[in-house]
Amino acid sequence: MYEDLRRTGILCSLPLLILLAVVFVAPLLVILGFSFMPSKSFSLLHLPTATNFVTLVGAGYYKSLLWSLGLSLAAVVVLLVICYPLAFAMAKVFGPFTNVITVLVVLTLFVPDNIRLFGWVLVLMKGGLISGGLRALFGIEMDSLLYTVPSIVFGLVYVYFPFMLFPLVLGISMVPDELRDAASDLGASRFTIMREIDVPLAMPGILVGGMLTFVLSAGAMAESKLLGGQKVIVMADEIETAFTYGQNWPLGSALSVILIGLIGVAAVFVLKRIDLDQILGKT
Amino acid sequence: MTTGTSRRERFLFTAYALVVLGILFLPLVTVTLASFSRKRYFSFPIRRYTLDWYDKAFQSLTIAELVRTSLTIAAIVTLICVVVGFFGALAYARYPWRRRKLYQKFILLPIFFPQSVLGLSLLLWFNFLGIIPTWKTAIVAHLVWVAPVATLIMAIQAYGFDRSLEEAARDMGANGWQVLREVTLPLIMPGVISAGLFSFLLSWGNFPLSLFTTGADLTLPEWLYAKMVSGYSPLVPAVGTLTVLGVAVLVAVGVSFVWLIRRRGWKG
Amino acid sequence: MTGTASNIVLRLEGLTKAFGSLIAVRDVDLDIREGEFLTIVGPSGSGKTTLIRLLVGMDRPTTGSLYLKGERINDVPANERPTCMVFQTLALFPHRTVGENIEFPLKIRKIPPAERKARAMALLELLRLPTEYYGRNVMHCSGGERQRVALARALAFDPEILFFDEPLSALDFRLRKALEKELKDLHRETGKTFVYITHSLEEAMVMSDRIAIMRTGHIEQIGSPDEIYSAPVNRFVAEFMGEVNLFPVRATTDGRLDLVEFAITLPAVGVALAPGEEGTLMVRPEAIRFLAPGETADCVIEGTVFNEYALGSRLQYNVRVGEFTISVEKLREDRYLGALGQATLIGWDLEDARFLGGED
């Protein structure tokens, strides 16, 4: 019975919804509350004030925000360029090899991020794999490759690689082969096909991958710490500092609210444009 | 496969894939390399090799304790996520109810949030509730991020099968519970196992959420980070390598299991 | 073959199902007799599947009542009704063996394994499947074999009524023809009530005791295949039942019928019509003859034989009269012997024509 099915559906959704309400929504509300509390206070029982947000702009926190957004955008662009050919091959060319790649990539996801980034530290640092290897083999002296802006972007690109790759693979696999064959048959060149068919039809995948990596990068902290050596202070860093060393929960909350707000806008923008049933149902 | 993929193109694509995979695994290989260094600090190329650090890793009580903590958290997180996510996945993909599309998008939200912010907000929340952070609160923190992922994985599997199978079972006399056990569960089983695997590993390897919510207790990733920043010794890459190996074994077992079930079906 | 009229196993009264503003099934009254083979035919969107789902219990009717042997079962859920449906996709459980599939309804009812197996074996025999198939994975069976497994499974718990939702539509022609006959044989052997839906009239004609024709949620006509073929109740049914010639006619003032296109007037075919009233005269292609010189018929028309089509043992002809095309069908031995493009006389007798009401 249709009506029974609907009821069952709602019942099934409840455990997860309740869980998220308690563990996800409630804490965020607390943060929201705290963001309006007077500076350096530790309870919610004060009168609301907007001082934290004023401090935000005045004390130059916006710089961190811009750095976070800028680095994320850079990472997204780089990832799009790097991942697209591979995703295309995985969706259309490789066949069973695709599964091998998938498993290997997923494998790296399970290794804790800090171990992976630490590995890059070992590779890029002075005396590390690259620098030490060059010296031993060719006698070339090279300085550390770490602690620069590009190294941070590199870290972001590395860590969030799978989050661009898999949505792209999914998106590209949604482009029917027949369309491409037909276009080719009608005389279209490789580039025309890519422009007129591949990209528009794979757009849901591109949007999801881009948005996911952007959002995750914007909130990232470890890359700038381990690979950037605090050369650049990103938003997530500021938030952590405010909460721990700064002992200023309201300020930290305000910063979080801003970051979450931006992320939320990007996420909603993309989610509104895609139909999850269509994407996931095709797998 | 698509037309117009010449052998040369295939070769180029394969070469590209191998290069990317190589770069992907380079840091892991380096970490393994560093674990063999006799010297306390790492410099390449390594002059003297030793397995002492692995010895130390296996004998250390601290590390055993850390492993126990991480394992316990991961096990409980997995159990909760798989159960809650199973029903959540059914609601996601199989039942037609009004707010379903909204639900689908809402469930995915936690995945987009910076984990550090989530961790911090949970810290405030616990403080607000008067709860002191221990490894038990870390479980709660992990749930935020892992449950949506688990649900998503099972939902993908749930999209796949023929609705009329459940209807036919009903028609032949099965009640709701029997349908779930005899038809729905066996068909989603590959997804359930994948979700379990993912949940376990994501919780086991998680750092940002653990950092803020374990309080005085420590998980393995937290310890590794602390040592990386100060107090480095090759013990860190040794433990790191062992972690990677453990993960690889688990994934291999899990993947084979899923593959087998996909081919032979789940007999329950 | 059919049950007596007093043996009604399923009665539908005013059954209606609406999905929002879309009315899929509209006020259906139907008596299904015990032991009969009833086929519900209709084009896509006519509501056949929705109707069957109401009868099986997958959906609840919006209004109206459903009685099983006199008891009202509107609120009885599908798993408590003594009915079983064979789905279009067969809905066999993948990765399970033939035996496990067939035994499923018995396992649900907690029948012990030995008894289950015995029943499954008996069903395999009934459906003419080798007993070795018991342990074979269902995915490794051919299309026709899977059909039979689905049938066996449906029969396993001995339901009163079996419903079929276009089970043969995905099969190729030969397999379909073979299975149609097997289904009819199965019906005879088991003596159960079969309710079958399809969009193929041919299938219905082969297998059914009675046919119900459905259009946009409502039953247009119900009767034996012969009844419907020879006496369709309206134009829709007439056209649905096969190739047919429909001539617009108008009653004259003196009680005769004017064939509007042809300037021919016929005596009224035993139908009381008001003068000027319009309607349709139906003449089956097989009833029309090519007139040899000197031969007459009640109604004679001159036309040109435009084309000949071979339909197995029969031949069909297009005869053009001005802008109108008349279909004529003949057995091979009575084939048209003249040349194509030549003017010919064709004719039919009044008793072979049937008057249908005005446009509905």
Phi, psi of C200 (to 5 degrees): -95, 120
Residue identified by tokens 């199965």 is: C186
pLDDT score at B74: 92
Which residues in chain A have their CB less than 8 angstroms from residue B114's CB? 216, 218-221, 236, 259, 263
**Mean pLDDT, all residues of chain A:** 83
The average pLDDT across A113-136 equals 81
CA distance to partner chain B, nearest, from residue A188 (Å): 12
- Concatenated DSSP letters of C268-307: --S----TT-EEEEEE-GGG-EEPPTT---SEEEEEEEEE
Q: pLDDT-derived band of residue A80, with 50, 70 and 90 as boundaries?
A: very high
Inter-chain touch B182–C56, beta carbons under 8 Å: no
- Answer whether B94 touches A (CB < 8 Å): yes
Which residues in chain B have their CB less than 8 angstroms from residue C157's CB? 172-173
User: Which tokens in the block code for residue B72?
Assistant: 């316990």
Chain A window 105-164: which residues touch B at a Cβ cutoff of 8 Å? 105-108, 110-120, 122-123, 127-129, 131-133, 136, 158, 161
Which residues in chain B have their CB less than 8 angstroms from residue A26's CB? 125
Q: Which residue has better confidence, C266 or A245?
A: A245
The average pLDDT across C24-51 equals 92
Q: Measured between alpha carbons, how far is C26 from C43 in angstroms, rounded to an integer?
A: 16
Q: Measured between alpha carbons, how far is B266 from C138 in angstroms, rounded to an integer?
A: 14
Lowest average pLDDT, out of A279-283, B234-238, C45-49, goes to A279-283
Q: pLDDT-derived band of residue B1, with 50, 70 and 90 as boundaries?
A: very low
CA distance to partner chain C, nearest, from residue B102 (Å): 22
CA distance to partner chain A, nearest, from residue B97 (Å): 5
Which CATH code, of 1.10.3720.10, 3.40.50.2000, 3.40.50.970, 3.30.9.100, is assigned to A58-281?
A: 1.10.3720.10
The average pLDDT across B260-264 equals 81
Q: Measured between alpha carbons, how far is C248 from C278 in angstroms, rounded to an integer?
A: 7
Chain C interface mutation, best of B157, B161, B167, B172, highest count of C Cβ atoms under 10 Å? B172
Q: pLDDT-derived band of residue B5, with 50, 70 and 90 as boundaries?
A: low
Burial group, residue C113, by CB count within 10 angstroms (0-12, 13-18, 19+): exposed
- Answer whether B224 touches A (CB < 8 Å): yes
Residue pairs between chains B and C whose CB atoms are closer than 8 Å: 61
pLDDT in tens, C248-263: 888 777 767 777 777 7
Closest residue of C to B268, CA-based?
Answer: C96
Q: Measured between alpha carbons, how far is B191 from C87 in angstroms, rounded to an integer?
A: 26
The pLDDT of residue C215 is above 70: yes
The pLDDT of residue C265 is above 80: no
Inter-chain touch B162–C78, beta carbons under 8 Å: no
- Answer whether A19 touches B (CB < 8 Å): yes
CA distance to partner chain C, nearest, from residue A44 (Å): 49
Which residues in chain B have their CB less than 8 angstroms from residue C58's CB? 167, 170-171
Inter-chain touch C77–A2, beta carbons under 8 Å: no
Lowest average pLDDT, out of A135-149, B162-176, C12-26, C226-240, goes to A135-149
Which residues in chain B have their CB less than 8 angstroms from residue A23's CB? 122, 140-141, 143-144
DSSP state of B96: -
Q: pLDDT-derived band of residue C3, with 50, 70 and 90 as boundaries?
A: very low
Which residues on adjacent β-strands are paired with residue C161? C83, C193
Name, in order, each residue with C-beta under 8 angstroms of A30's C-beta and a sequence gap of 6 or more: A44, B121, B124, B125, B128
- Answer whether A34 touches B (CB < 8 Å): yes
β-bridge pairing C218-223 and C71-72: unpaired
Phi, psi of A184 (to 5 degrees): -65, -45
Q: Measured between alpha carbons, how far is C233 from C248 in angstroms, rounded to an integer?
A: 16
Chain B interface mutation, best of C49, C89, C108, highest count of B Cβ atoms under 10 Å? C108
Q: pLDDT-derived band of residue B255, with 50, 70 and 90 as boundaries?
A: confident
Which residues in chain C have their CB less than 8 angstroms from residue A2's CB? 59-60
Beta carbons of A35 and A120 less than 8 angstroms apart: no
Question: In percent, how much of chain A has pLDDT > 70?
Answer: 96
Q: Which residue has better confidence, A33 or A140?
A: A33
Q: Using alpha carbons only, what angle is made at residue C214 by residues C148 and C72, rounded to the nearest 5 degrees? A: 75
Inter-chain touch B171–C58, beta carbons under 8 Å: yes
Burial group, residue C181, by CB count within 10 angstroms (0-12, 13-18, 19+): exposed
pLDDT score at C39: 95
Q: Measured between alpha carbons, how far is B75 from B94 in angstroms, rounded to an integer?
A: 28
Which residues in chain A have their CB less than 8 angstroms from residue B105's CB? 271, 276
Which residues on adjacent β-strands are paired with residue C67? C11, C72
Which of A225-234, A261-270, B190-199, C250-259 has the highest mean predicted lDDT (pLDDT)? B190-199
The average pLDDT across C42-51 equals 89
Which residues in chain A have their CB less than 8 angstroms from residue C77's CB? 1
Which of C85, C89, C104 lies nearest to residue B162, judging by beta carbons?
C89
Q: Which chains touch B (3 or more CB pairs under 8 A)?
A: A, C
pLDDT score at C2: 46
- Answer whether A25 touches B (CB < 8 Å): no
* Number of other residues whose CB lies within 10 A of the CB of residue A176: 11
CA distance to partner chain A, nearest, from residue C58 (Å): 5
Phi-psi region of A243 (alpha: psi -120 to 50; beta: other; left: phi over 0): alpha
pLDDT score at C66: 94
pLDDT score at A65: 84
Beta carbons of B144 and A20 less than 8 angstroms apart: yes
- Answer whether A30 touches B (CB < 8 Å): yes
pLDDT score at B41: 74
In what side-by-side order are the strands of the sheet with C71-72?
C22-33, C8-19, C63-68, C71-72
The pLDDT of residue C149 is above 90: yes
For residue B10, give the nearest of C246, C266, A93, A36 by alpha carbon. Answer: A93
pLDDT in tens, C86-117: 988 888 888 789 999 999 999 888 899 999 99
Lowest average pLDDT, out of A264-268, C40-44, C63-67, C325-329, goes to A264-268
Name, in order, each residue with C-beta under 8 angstroms of C117's C-beta and a sequence gap of 6 or more: C99, C103, C134
Residue identified by tokens 């989050």 is: A163
Name, in order, each residue with C-beta under 8 angstroms of A269's C-beta and a sequence gap of 6 or more: A211
Position B266, amino acid = W
- Concatenated DSSP letters of B24-35: HHHHHHHHHHHT
DSSP state of C12: E
Helices (H), chain C: 48-56, 98-108, 113-126, 143-155, 173-190, 201-207, 225-230, 235-240
pLDDT in tens, B185-194: 888 888 898 8
- Answer whether C140 touches B (CB < 8 Å): no
Position A29, amino acid = L
Which of C79, C87, C104 lies nearest to residue B175, judging by beta carbons?
C79
The average pLDDT across A186-201 equals 80
The pLDDT of residue C206 is above 80: yes
pLDDT score at A77: 95
The pLDDT of residue C236 is above 90: no
Chain A window 258-277: which residues touch B at a Cβ cutoff of 8 Å? 259-260, 263, 267, 271, 276-277
Q: Measured between alpha carbons, how far is C338 from C327 in angstroms, rounded to an integer?
A: 16
Q: pLDDT-derived band of residue C199, with 50, 70 and 90 as boundaries?
A: confident
pLDDT score at A283: 47
Q: pLDDT-derived band of residue C59, with 50, 70 and 90 as boundaries?
A: confident
DSSP state of B132: P
Which residues on adjacent β-strands are paired with residue C25? C17
Q: Which chains touch A (3 or more CB pairs under 8 A)?
A: B, C
Residue B33 CA from chain centroid, whole number? 25
Q: pLDDT-derived band of residue C268, with 50, 70 and 90 as boundaries?
A: low
**Mean pLDDT, all residues of chain C:** 86
pLDDT score at B20: 93
pLDDT in tens, B71-128: 899 999 999 999 999 999 988 888 778 888 888 888 888 888 888 888 888 988 888 8
Q: Measured between alpha carbons, how far is A210 from A215 in angstroms, rounded to an integer?
A: 8
**Mean pLDDT, all residues of chain B:** 85
Q: Which residue has better confidence, A133 or B66?
A: B66
Which residues in chain C have their CB less than 8 angstroms from residue A3's CB? 60
- Concatenated DSSP letters of B111-131: HHS-HHHHHHHHHHHHHHHTP
pLDDT in tens, B133-152: 888 889 999 999 999 999 98
The pLDDT of residue C40 is above 90: yes
Q: Measured between alpha carbons, how far is B95 from C49 in angstroms, rounded to an integer?
A: 20
Burial group, residue B213, by CB count within 10 angstroms (0-12, 13-18, 19+): buried
Beta carbons of B145 and B205 less than 8 angstroms apart: no
The average pLDDT across C232-237 equals 86
Position C291, amino acid = L
pLDDT score at B267: 65
Which residues in chain B have their CB less than 8 angstroms from residue A85's CB? 13, 16
The pLDDT of residue A200 is above 80: yes
| Nearest 10 degrees: Cα torsion C134, C137, C142, C145 | 30
For residue B159, give the nearest of B187, B178, B182, B197 by alpha carbon. Answer: B187
Chain B window 6-45: which residues touch A at a Cβ cutoff of 8 Å? 9-10, 13-14, 16-17, 20-21, 23-31, 33-34, 42-45
Q: pLDDT-derived band of residue C29, with 50, 70 and 90 as boundaries?
A: very high
Q: pLDDT-derived band of residue C269, with 50, 70 and 90 as boundaries?
A: low
The pLDDT of residue B63 is above 80: yes
CA distance to partner chain C, nearest, from residue B182 (Å): 9
The pLDDT of residue A51 is above 90: no
* Number of other residues whose CB lies within 10 A of the CB of residue A66: 12
Phi, psi of C122 (to 5 degrees): -60, -40
Q: Which chains touch C (3 or more CB pairs under 8 A)?
A: A, B
Position B82, amino acid = V
Which residues in chain B have their CB less than 8 angstroms from residue A9's CB? 90-91, 94-97, 100
pLDDT score at A11: 86
For residue B256, give the nearest of A99, C16, A258 by alpha carbon. Answer: A99
β-bridge pairing C343-348 and C299-311: antiparallel
Closest residue of A to C53, CA-based?
Answer: A1
Q: Which residue has better confidence, C1 or C142?
A: C142
The average pLDDT across A257-283 equals 76
Q: Which residue has better confidence, C300 or C32?
A: C32
Chain A window 1-60: which residues touch C at a Cβ cutoff of 8 Å? 1-3
pLDDT score at A18: 92
Chain A interface mutation, best of C60, C74, C75, C79, highest count of A Cβ atoms under 10 Å? C60
CA distance to partner chain A, nearest, from residue B214 (Å): 15
pLDDT score at C1: 42
Residue A62 CA from chain centroid, whole number? 20
Inter-chain touch C93–B178, beta carbons under 8 Å: no
Please report, for residues A125, B173, C162, C191, the alpha-carbon distance to residue C159 in angstroms, rounded to integers and kept in the order given.
77, 10, 7, 11
Which of B104, B127, B202 lies nearest to residue A276, judging by beta carbons?
B104
β-bridge pairing C161-165 and C83-86: parallel
* Number of other residues whose CB lies within 10 A of the CB of residue A223: 27
The pLDDT of residue B2 is above 60: no
3-state secondary structure of C113: helix
Question: In percent, how much of chain B has pLDDT > 90?
Answer: 18
> Is the dihedral angle over the CA atoms A260, A262, A268, A273 positive or is it negative?
negative
Which residues in chain A have their CB less than 8 angstroms from residue C58's CB? 1
3-state secondary structure of A55: helix
Domains and CATH numbers, chain B: 1-50 (no CATH), 53-264 (1.10.3720.10)
Which residues in chain B have their CB less than 8 angstroms from residue A129's CB? 26, 30, 33, 44
Q: Measured between alpha carbons, how far is A223 from A74 in angstroms, rounded to an integer?
A: 14
For residue C284, give the nearest of C232, C327, C316 by alpha carbon. Answer: C327
Question: In percent, how much of chain C has pLDDT > 90?
Answer: 36
Q: pLDDT-derived band of residue B15, with 50, 70 and 90 as boundaries?
A: very high
Q: Measured between alpha carbons, how far is C324 from B179 in angstroms, rounded to an integer?
A: 59
